[in-house]
Amino acid sequence: EIRPELGDDTVTVSSSALPFNLTINDSWGDADQLFFSIASGDAAANIVFDQTETVGAISVEGETLHHEGFEESQNLIIVLPNSDNQMTLERTANNWLSMSSTGSHLQPLSFPEPIGSLKIQGGSGNDSLRLSVPELTVPFAFSGADGSDELNLENGEITELNIDATL
């Protein structure tokens, strides 16, 4: 349980901590944010967000993070491994998003479009991300880290884009 004194708070929880219960009691803040971080890897995963008001849950393959007290809890960070990664983000038939590997061993991640934000965080290798999404309304960030990284905006629209790069 987190009991801050005053103001708005930001908490990041890794999928490796699941299952996990988290409550934030903050009578002063009105913009508390929860970020959920998952490492892409050897196993396919479906991520499900479930929220009513400030009570909700984030589930990954049967393991659940229960949370309460966050005004904004649907923020997803996908962390790529420290290798060369060629990834594609696309919309599925059921209107979810799917991130899959086009040249490496990584298994796909599937999830509904988060309401808060979506960030793809590259590792130390050469990362390539192809966005094949007709419309992405959530704020999106791509951080390539070390190496030579590429972001390909194939088609469609992105409401807000943030690229962390050294020029």
- Percent above pLDDT 70 for the chain: 86
User: Please, are residues 22 and 74 in contact by the beta-carbon 8 Å criterion?
Assistant: no
User: What's the pTM value of the predicted model, to 2 decimals?
Assistant: 0.83
Measured CA to CA, the distance from residue 36 to residue 121 in angstroms comes to 13
Structure confidence by residue, pLDDT tens digits, 61-74: 888 888 887 788 88
Half-sphere exposure of 157 (CA within 13 A, CB side): 3
Structure confidence by residue, pLDDT tens digits, 105-128: 778 889 988 888 999 988 888 888
User: Please, are residues 113 and 135 in contact by the beta-carbon 8 Å criterion?
Assistant: no
- Collapsing DSSP to helix, strand or coil, 75 comes out as strand
Residue type, 78: I
Q: Is 3 exposed, middle or buried (0-12, 13-18, 19+ CB in 10 A)?
A: exposed
For residue 153, is pLDDT > 80?
yes
For residue 148, is pLDDT > 70?
yes
For residue 167, is pLDDT > 50?
no
pLDDT for 118: 92
Task: Give the residue-averaged pLDDT of 30-56.
Answer: 81
Measured CA to CA, the distance from residue 74 to residue 32 in angstroms comes to 11
Structure confidence by residue, pLDDT tens digits, 52-62: 777 888 888 88
Mean pLDDT of the chain: 81
